[in-house]
Amino acid sequence: MSSSPAGRGNQRRIAVATVVGTTIEWYDFFIYSTAAALVFAQLYFAPAGPAMAQVLAFVTVGISFLFRPLGAFLAGHFGDRIGRRAVLVITLIMMGAGTALIGLVPSFESIGMAAPLLLILLRIIQGISAGGEWGGAVLMAVEHAAPERRGRAGAFPQLGVPLGMLLASGVMALMTGVIAPGEAFIAWGWRVPFLLSLVLVAVGYVVRRTVDESPVFQEIAQSAERSKVPALTLFTRYGLLVLLAALVFAGNNAGGYMTTGGFVTKYATSDAVGLGSTEVLLAVSFGSAVWLVVTWWAGQLADRIGRVRTYQCGFAMQILSAFPLFWLINSGSLVGLYAGLALFAVGLGLSYGPQAALYSELFPASVRFSGVSISYALGAILGGAFAPTIAQALMQATGGTAAISWYLMGMAVISLAAVSLLRDRSGIDLSVRNEAEQSRGATIFSAPTRAAAEAVPAVK
């Protein structure tokens, strides 16, 4: 079986399947973050007091990240053993079921401590699902693509994050502003977006069942290249590469979850800024739209100037916009909020669009699913897991937002350094027959492979 790129018609189906699936997954993930900012403190953690209740609500956002590596280990193991497509269908169903059940959890007032415990359990299920989703989606997209179009193809599953946020914040804004404003939103309106997940998952299931298995995995299945324990092989042989890849994602994820993980929504609606919930949610939707456009452009840019250089531009932009983001929000102006979120979204898009292609080209075929999934999950823990909680704690400790901006800058600097230690391997042969070449030359500490050197003559 050849691992040659799929035909254009099949590539279009794959693009649609990956972007629809990841959009639904991240819609499910983000409506939790939004609800944590708006209602969970009051409904599930009120006995802890107003300030601590909000911190605890944000902690539950982060708890799911701790279980992403478990999802990544499981999905990576089975994705490298039984295939990418089957794992994608399973993770989609898990996420949808967990999300819908969150919409049915009674409040603390109704069932006491069982309420927050159920909430946390279902959030853990979301985390396990999210940990396995991303790796399968990007490999389905990238392994089907021609070498010169991997950045563009890999941008499709990346679009699921801003699209999911756009959909989540849009639905929440519709509920708070039109369908169930005021007390109705707290009483029942917030539950509707969670229950809506059942419809979206049904659509995603149908779409994902229509695509073919990755050609690289079909080649693996007919060879002797399947590792019995992919994760063990990964850490034994490629531990440094996993660490660097995780650090690359950490800066983007910290910035992304500062704006999408509920902190900006909570802060902008607090007395310190004084904006309304619906108008803030619409501003977040606008920022997500900018993130979406830049992510798509960055994937194509990565095919022209390379993955590493595109990343470096993105992290430089995040560093430069960390302080202006909060200066503009602190102006108390709705225009300032829109401008700050849009400005910061440019750096987020530039440092997210190339990720699928970069990660896929770092790891050899037999452990690729495990490599990209585990690196992504660890990066999420180091970056976004507790970014809203850290931001809330920093603001309460210092009384302002300057410390939060320094935190965002520091995370971006770490990621910039990490990506600069990686070789750009654009165009490397991803098939099993090139396993030996894929296993060498991924960092500046090792000699470049001949294939990578021929594909990108200018890399360091």
What is the tens place of the pLDDT at every residue in 193-210?
Answer: 999 988 888 887 777 676
Q: Which of 216-220, 292-296, 362-366 has the lowest mean pLDDT?
A: 216-220
Q: How far is CA 384 from CA 43, 141, 250, 257, in A?
A: 24, 25, 7, 5
Q: Is the pLDDT of residue 2 over 50?
A: no
460 belongs to a structural domain:
no
447 belongs to a structural domain:
yes
Give the pLDDT confidence score for residue 225 in this predicted structure: 52
Give the pLDDT confidence score for residue 290 in this predicted structure: 93
Average pLDDT over every residue of 33-48: 90
Comparing 356 with 74, the larger pLDDT belongs to: 356
Which pLDDT band, with edges at 50, 70 and 90, does 106 fall under?
Answer: very high
Give the pLDDT confidence score for residue 135 in this predicted structure: 78
CATH number at residue 400: 1.20.1250.20
Distance CA 210, CA 220 (A): 21
Name the domain count of the chain.
1
Give the pLDDT confidence score for residue 214 in this predicted structure: 60
Distance CA 153, CA 138 (A): 9
Q: Is the pLDDT of residue 338 over 80?
A: yes
Average pLDDT over every residue of 271-297: 89
Which pLDDT band, with edges at 50, 70 and 90, does 308 fall under?
Answer: very high
Q: Is the pLDDT of residue 455 over 60?
A: no
Is the distance from CB of 71 to CB of 129 less than 8 angstroms?
yes
Q: How far is CA 28 from CA 135, 160, 200, 282, 341, in A?
A: 17, 11, 9, 18, 22
Note if the pTM is more than 0.95: no
Give the pLDDT confidence score for residue 218 in this predicted structure: 61
Tokens of 73: 């280990």
What pLDDT digit, counting tens, does each position of 362-420 carry? 998 888 888 898 898 899 889 877 888 889 889 989 999 999 999 999 999 999 999 99
Give the pLDDT confidence score for residue 367 in this predicted structure: 84
Q: Is the pLDDT of residue 228 over 80?
A: no
Containing 433, the helix (H) or strand (E) segment is: none
Is the distance from CB of 40 to CB of 167 less than 8 angstroms?
no
How many percent of the chain have pLDDT more than 70? 87
Is the distance from CB of 220 to CB of 346 less than 8 angstroms?
no
Which pLDDT band, with edges at 50, 70 and 90, does 8 fall under?
Answer: low
Average pLDDT over every residue of 79-86: 68
Q: Is the pLDDT of residue 255 over 60?
A: yes
Average pLDDT over every residue of 48-64: 86
Residues 6 or more apart whose Cβ sits within 8 Å of residue 457: none
Q: Is the pLDDT of residue 323 over 90?
A: yes
Of residues 38, 19, 16, 20, the one with CA closest to residue 284: 38
Name the residue type at position 298. A
Q: Taking all residues of the chain, what is their mean pLDDT, rounded to a whole number?
A: 84
How many percent of the chain have pLDDT more than 90? 37
How many C-beta atoms lie closer than 10 Å to residue 129's C-beta? Answer: 27
Q: Which of 219-233, 369-383, 420-434 has the lowest mean pLDDT?
A: 219-233
Q: Is the pLDDT of residue 449 over 60?
A: no
| Structural domain of 348 | 8-211+222-455
Is the distance from CB of 162 to CB of 295 less than 8 angstroms?
yes
168 belongs to a structural domain:
yes
What pLDDT digit, counting tens, does each position of 123-140 carry? 999 888 877 777 778 888
Average pLDDT over every residue of 313-339: 95
367 belongs to a structural domain:
yes
Tokens of 60: 């539950």
Tokens of 10: 């099949």
Q: Is the pLDDT of residue 456 over 50?
A: no
Sign of the CA dihedral running 42, 43, 48, 52: negative
